[in-house]
C-alpha cells in the first residue's frame, strides 16, 4: 500500500485537525453569515449547533477513521462490507473536491490582500474605498484564476509531502502566531470609538430574527467550520495512534475552532459599528473592513501583511485536509501514487473553480444563475458547504449509532481515553438528538 503515515503525537493531531477546522470558515464565512442573519441570534444558534451536533459528529468521525485506518470510502466499506454505506464516503470525497474549488478561490484572496498590503495599495483605505478596491480585485479574471491555481498548487505541494512531514510541521508553528495577531487586532477593534454598538449587535439576540434558513445555515456553518460531514476528520483520525484520547482531542479541536470564530466576530462587528459600515454586507464583509482597521493601527501595514499571510496559512491547512480526503481515497482505493493523486485531484478542482471565478465578474450567467437568482459561487457554497455536509453528518450519525453500532464505536472511543465517562451522552446524541435535529432542519427548509 502506498505511503500512509501517523501523527507524531496527540498534540500533532490536535494542531493538524484544528488546522483543518480553523480557516477562512472562521474568519471570513462566520462573520459574514452572522452579519447577514442579524448578529447575536445567529451566534447563539451556531454555538448550540457546535455543542449539540458538532462535537458528537466530530468524535464519531475520528473514531471511524482510527478504527479502520482508512479514507472515508475504505472506512465505511471495512466496517460494513458489501453495503451501500461506502456511498457516504464517495459523497465526502466529491464534497472535498467541490469545496476545494471555491475555498481555494477565497483563500487566494488572502494572498492577493497580502500583496496589496505589501505594495502599500491599501494605505489610507476608507470605508468608501475598500468596496471599490475589492470589486476591482475580484473582477480581474486572470488574476483570480492565477491566485486560484497558485493556492491549489501550494496545497498540492504540501499534500504530496505526506502526513507528518508537511501538514503537521506547518500547523505547529503558524497557528499560534495567527491567534496572537488576532488578539492584537481584537485590542484595536474593541477600543475604537463607537465599538459598543457592534458588541450589542453581536451579543444581544433578537429572537424574532430566527428563521428556518438561518438555522440551517448556522448548522451548516458548525459542520463546515469543524470540517465535518465529508470525512476529513475520518481521514485525519485514520492517522491517530491507538493510545491517544479521541474525546479529549475532539474537545480541544472544537474549542480552538469555536474560540477563533467567536474572536473574529469580536474584531469585525465592533469595527463595522465604529466605522458605520453595514454588517449585512455579504461575503466581501471582512475584506471591506479589515483594511480600514489596519489603517487605524500603529504599524498597521505590518500587521495587515502578517494577518493576511497567516490567514492564508490557516486556509492552507484547511485546503490541505480537503485535498487529503480525495488523495487518501485515490491512494487506498485506486492504488494510485500520492503524486499522481495530487496532480489529478488538484487539476480537476482548479477546473471546477473557474465558474466560481466567473461569478465575480465577466460572465452574467455565472453571476446570476437562471431561476436560482444567485451566483454560481453562492450556489456551490450552499449546496456543498451547507447541504452536503449536513446530509453527510446525518449519515455519519446513523452509521455510528445504528450500523457500526454505538457499543462498537464506544469501544474505539474508549481506547486511550479510560477516564471518559460520557459515552452514554454521546450515544444519545448520535442515535437520537443529532439525526432528529438535522432531519427537522432539512425538512423545514424543504417544505418552505
Ligand atoms: N473547516 C474549514 C474552515 O472553517 O475554514 C473548512 C473545511 C475544511 C471544511 C475541510 C471541510 C473540510 F473537510
pLDDT in tens, 109-151: 999 999 999 999 998 888 899 999 999 999 999 999 999 999 9
At residue 239 the predicted structure's pLDDT band, cuts being 50, 70 and 90, is: confident
pLDDT for the residue 421? 82
21 alpha carbon – ligand 1 mean position (Å):
5
At residue 390 the predicted structure's pLDDT band, cuts being 50, 70 and 90, is: very high
399 and 88 Cβ atoms separated by less than 8 Å? yes
pLDDT for the residue 1? 38
- HSE of 318, CA atoms in CB hemisphere, 13 A: 29
Which residue has a Cα nearest atom 11 of ligand 1?
227
pLDDT for the residue 164? 55
The best mutation among 264, 315, 318 to test binding of ligand 1, ranked by most ligand atoms within 8 Å of the C-beta, falls on: 318
pLDDT for the residue 17? 86
Average pLDDT, the chain: 91
pLDDT for the residue 249? 92
Residues with CB under 6 A from ligand 1: 20-21, 23-26, 99, 224-225, 227, 230, 232, 318, 321-322
pLDDT for the residue 125? 87
pLDDT digit string (tens) for 300-339? 888 889 889 888 988 998 999 899 899 989 998 899 999 9
DSSP string, 259-322: HHHHHHHHHHHHHHHHTT--TT--TTHHHHHHHHHHHTSTTHHHHHHHHHHHHHHHHHHHHHHH
pLDDT for the residue 448? 72
Query: In the predicted model, is pLDDT for residue 88 greater than 80?
Result: yes
105 and 144 Cβ atoms separated by less than 8 Å? yes
pLDDT digit string (tens) for 203-223? 999 999 999 889 999 999 999
In the chain, % of residues over pLDDT 90: 70
Measured in residues, the chain has a length of: 448
159 and 323 Cβ atoms separated by less than 8 Å? yes
pLDDT for the residue 5? 61
Is the whole model's pTM more than 0.85, yes or no? yes
Average pLDDT over residues 436-443: 93
The best mutation among 26, 106, 225 to test binding of ligand 1, ranked by most ligand atoms within 8 Å of the C-beta, falls on: 225
- Going by C-alpha positions, the residue among 386, 390, 384, 315 that lies closest to residue 99 is 384
E strand intervals along 317-363: none
Round to whole Å and give the CA distance between 117 and 254: 32
pLDDT for the residue 361? 78
pLDDT for the residue 8? 67
pLDDT for the residue 167? 61
Coarse DSSP helix, strand, coil percentages of the chain, rounded to the nearest 5 percent? 75, 0, 25
Round to whole Å and give the CA distance between 438 and 404: 20
Query: In the predicted model, is pLDDT for residue 382 greater than 90?
Result: yes
pLDDT digit string (tens) for 37-51? 999 999 999 999 999
Average pLDDT over residues 82-93: 94
How buried is residue 129: exposed, middle or buried, by Cβ count under 10 Å (0-12/13-18/19+)? middle
pLDDT digit string (tens) for 162-181? 765 666 676 677 778 888 88
25 and 102 Cβ atoms separated by less than 8 Å? no
67 alpha carbon – ligand 1 mean position (Å):
22
Query: In the predicted model, is pLDDT for residue 350 greater than 60?
Result: yes
What atom in ligand 1 is closest to the CA of residue 314? Answer: 5
What atom in ligand 1 is closest to the CA of residue 96? Answer: 13
Average pLDDT over residues 259-284: 93
The best mutation among 24, 25, 283, 392 to test binding of ligand 1, ranked by most ligand atoms within 8 Å of the C-beta, falls on: 25
Round to whole Å and give the CA distance between 230 and 306: 31
402 alpha carbon – ligand 1 mean position (Å):
27
Query: In the predicted model, is pLDDT for residue 23 greater than 60?
Result: yes
At residue 2 the predicted structure's pLDDT band, cuts being 50, 70 and 90, is: very low
Please give the grid coordinates belonging to residue 113.
490582500
**Residue ranges of domains in the chain, CATH in brackets:** 10-447 (1.20.1740.10)
227 alpha carbon – ligand 1 mean position (Å):
4
Average pLDDT over residues 49-71: 96
25 alpha carbon – ligand 1 mean position (Å):
7
Amino acid at each position: 500500500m502506498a505511503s500512509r503515515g501517523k501523527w507524531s503525537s496527540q498534540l500533532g493531531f490536535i494542531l493538524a485537525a484544528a488546522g483543518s477546522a480553523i480557516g477562512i470558515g472562521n474568519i471570513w464565512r462566520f462573520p459574514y453569515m452572522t452579519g447577514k442573519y442579524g448578529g447575536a441570534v445567529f451566534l447563539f444558534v451556531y454555538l448550540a449547533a457546535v455543542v449539540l451536533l458538532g462535537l458528537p459528529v466530530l468524535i464519531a468521525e475520528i473514531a471511524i477513521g482510527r478504527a479502520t485506518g482508512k479514507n472515508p470510502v475504505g472506512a465505511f466499506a471495512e466496517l460494513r462490507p458489501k453495503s451501500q454505506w461506502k456511498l457516504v464516503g464517495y459523497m465526502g470525497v466529491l464534497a472535498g473536491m467541490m469545496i476545494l474549488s471555491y475555498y481555494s478561490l477565497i483563500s487566494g484572496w488572502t494572498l492577493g490582500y497580502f500583496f496589496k498590503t505589501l505594495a502599500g495599495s491599501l494605505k489610507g483605505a476608507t470605508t468608501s474605498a475598500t468596496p471599490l478596491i475589492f470589486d476591482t480585485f475580484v473582477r480581474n479574471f486572470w488574476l483570480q484564476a492565477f491566485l486560484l491555481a497558485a493556492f491549489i498548487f501550494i496545497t498540492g505541494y504540501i499534500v504530496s509531502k505526506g502526513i507528518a512531514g508537511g501538514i503537521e510541521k506547518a500547523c505547529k508553528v503558524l497557528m499560534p502566531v495567527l491567534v496572537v495577531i488576532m488578539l492584537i487586532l481584537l485590542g484595536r477593534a474593541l477600543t475604537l470609538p463607537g465599538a459598543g454598538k457592534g458588541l450589542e449587535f453581536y451579543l444581544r439576540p433578537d429572537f424574532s430574527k430566527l428563521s428556518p434558513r438561518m438555522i440551517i445555515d448556522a448548522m451548516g456553518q458548525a459542520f463546515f467550520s469543524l470540517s465535518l460531514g465529508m470525512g476529513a476528520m475520518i481521514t485525519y483520525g485514520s492517522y491517530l495512534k491507538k493510545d491517544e484520547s479521541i474525546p479529549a482531542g475532539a474537545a480541544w479541536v472544537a474549542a480552538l475552532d469555536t474560540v477563533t470564530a467567536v474572536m473574529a466576530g469580536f474584531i469585525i462587528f465592533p469595527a463595522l459599528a465604529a466605522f458605520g459600515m453595514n454588517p449585512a454586507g455579504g461575503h466581501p464583509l471582512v475584506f471591506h473592513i479589515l483594511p480600514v482597521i489596519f489603517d487605524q493601527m500603529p504599524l498597521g501595514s505590518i500587521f495587515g501583511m502578517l494577518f493576511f499571510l497567516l490567514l492564508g496559512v490557516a486556509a492552507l491547512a484547511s485546503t490541505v485536509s480537503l485535498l487529503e480526503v480525495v488523495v487518501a481515497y485515490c491512494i487506498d482505493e485506486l492504488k494510485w501514487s500520492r503524486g499522481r493523486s495530487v496532480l489529478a485531484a488538484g487539476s480537476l478542482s482548479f477546473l471546477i473553480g473557474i465558474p466560481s471565478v466567473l461569478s465575480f465578474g465577466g460572465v452574467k450567467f455565472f453571476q446570476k444563475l437562471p431561476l436560482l437568482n444567485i451566483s454560481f459561487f453562492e450556489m456551490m457554497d450552499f449546496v456543498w458547504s451547507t447541504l452536503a455536509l449536513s446530509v453527510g453528518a446525518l449519515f455519519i450519525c446513523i452509521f455510528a449509532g445504528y450500523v457500526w453500532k454505538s457499543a462498537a464505536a464506544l469501544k474505539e472511543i474508549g481506547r486511550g481515553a479510560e477516564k471518559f465517562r460520557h459515552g452514554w451522552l454521546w450515544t444519545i446524541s448520535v442515535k437520537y438528538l443529532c439525526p432528529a435535529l438535522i432531519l427537522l432542519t432539512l425538512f423545514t427548509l424543504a417544505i418552505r
